[in-house]
Amino acid sequence: MGWATGYIEALQNGETVSFRPRGHSMKGRINSGDRCTVEPVGDRQLEVDDIVLCKVRGAQYLHLIKAKRGSQFQIGNNRGGINGWVSRTAIYGILIDVEP
């Protein structure tokens, strides 16, 4: 279980979720405590620079797609950090709105 487990479950059930993540890894795009709205990824084409709710090696992140390689996506933060590569099945939602 992690901070986003309930949100991931809701996304898997087709629900759009909103939450206020804490931290500074996405500063400049998402500030700590901003209200983030995430909808299920569905069949959407995922692109570099999309912000997604995902799981990388068991850890849950609301981070950027930094690169694509075939059917794999490299996930990282907005400060140059890289979390790792995941398949589409590890990406649960895409950010659609950020409010202070």
For residue range 60-99, what is the model confidence (pLDDT) as tens digits?
Answer: 999 999 999 999 999 999 999 999 999 999 999 999 999 9
Structure tokens given for 49: 């620079």
Residue-wise pLDDT tens digits, 34-70:
999 999 999 999 999 999 999 999 999 999 999 999 9
Q: Give the pTM.
A: 0.96
Domain containing 67 — which CATH number? 2.10.109.10
The contacts of residue 79 (CB under 8 Å, 6+ apart) are 24, 25, 27
Q: Work out how many domains the chain is built from and give that number.
A: 1
Determine the structural domain holding residue 91 and report its residue range.
5-99
